[in-house]
Amino acid sequence: MKKADIKSVFDSFNQFNILIIGDVMIDSYMWGKVNRISPEAPVPIIMSTHQEYRLGGAANVALNIQSLGANPILCSVIGNDSKAKTFFNLLKKQHLTSEGIIEDENRKTTVKTRIISNNQHLLRIDEEVDFELEKSIENVFVKHIIKILSTKNVNAIIFEDYDKGCITPSVIKKVVEFANKKNIPTLVDPKRRNFSEYKNVTLFKPNFKELIEGSKIDIRKGDFEGIFNASKKLHKELSAKYLLVTLSELGVFISYNNSYKTIPAEVRDIADVSGAGDTIISIASLCLAAKLNPEIIAEISNLAGGLVCEKIGVVPVDKKQLLDETIKKFS
C-alpha cells in the first residue's frame, strides 16, 4: 500500500457506522493507602482516597471505534438500577449514543471494582449476573437491533461476547441472517458459552486459548501448521470467511481460502495487555468495512494491538499514532 492509499483508508473510517452487540460493564477503580492490618481478621485496611468509573466490556470496543474516527452504536441489555444511571452518564460523558441500550429490571448492571494501593492491585469485586436474557427481553433486544440495522447505514457488526448472557444463540442467528442478507460484515470476539453458535460470520477472532478449547485440538502456540489445522476445523464448523487468531507475543494468525499467514508481533515495551483484543477487533471491523484484503487487515490489527499494550490500563488506540505506524510498516 502506498502512503496516499493508507491515508485514504484511515480517512474513510470517519464515514463508517459500526454496530457493537455485547456485554457492557462499568470498570470501577478504588485507590487508597494501606497503613495497618485489621484487628478483626488478617487483612489490610485500605483508606480510600478516590474512586473512578470507566466504560468497560463491549463499551471499550465502542471507545476504540470512536477513537478511530468512526461512529459506534452500542447495543446491550443492562439492569434497571442505580449503576445503570452511572453507565448512561459515562456514555454521555464520552459522547456515545445510548439508543441501543435496553434496561431490564431482572438483570444487574455489571460492575468490576478493582481496589488498588501503591500501584498494587489488592482485590477485585465483581457485581454481575451471567444468565441468558429471558425470552421476552431477548425478543425485544433482537427487534431493537434489527430496527437500528434497518434505519441506519451500518458498515459492520461486532459481537463482543463476555459470557454475561446478553448475547444468546437466538440473537446471534437472527442478527447474522439479517446482516448476510444486507451484505453487512460480521465480526466476533468469542467466549466459551456461544463459541460454536457463531455460524456464517465474516471474521472470527479467538485468542489462542479459545482456539484450542473450541477446536478441541491440543497444539503449541508456535506450531503454525497445528494452528492452521485447528482453524480449518473451525472454518468448516462455523463457515466463517476469515479466522483471525491473536497469539500475544507471537503476533497474529489469519486463515482464509484454505491458506494462512502469520504476522509476528512488533518489538515493543509491553506495559499492559489489557484491552488489546478490543482494539484488534475494532480496527479489523473498520478495515473490513473499507474492503481491505485479509492480510492487510491482520497487519494493521496487529499494529493496533501492540500500540495499546505500551500503555497502562485499558485505553483506546490513538488513530494518528496507528496511521504513522501503518505508513512506516508499508513504506
Which residues are the active-site residues? 278
Here the cell at position 72 is: 459506534
Q: How far apart are CA 108 and CA 298, in angstroms?
A: 36
CA–CA separation, 101 and 244 (whole Å):
28
The closest alpha carbon to 315, from 107, 99, 27, 78, belongs to 27
User: Can you list the positions of beta strands (E) in the chain?
Assistant: 17-22, 24-37, 44-57, 71-79, 101-104, 111-117, 120-127, 156-160, 186-189, 203-204, 242-246, 252-256, 259-263
- Cα distance between residue 178 and residue 189, in whole Å: 19
CB neighbourhood size of 269 (10 A)? 6
| Phi (first) and psi of residue 113, to 5 degrees | -105, 125
What are the backbone dihedrals phi and psi of residue 176, each rounded to the nearest 5 degrees, phi first?
Answer: -65, -40
C-alpha cell at 215: 477446536
Q: Please classify residue 72 by burial: count the beta carbons closer than 10 Å to its beta carbon, then call 0-12 exposed, 13-18 middle and 19+ buried.
A: buried
Count, residues in the chain: 331
Q: Tell me the C-alpha distance between 67 and 307, whole Å.
A: 13
DSSP per-residue letters across 89-100: HHHHHTT---TT
- What are the φ/ψ torsions at residue 134 (nearest 5 degrees)? -65, 150
The identity of residue 87, as a single letter, is F
Residue 314 near residue 278 (C-beta atoms within 8 A): yes
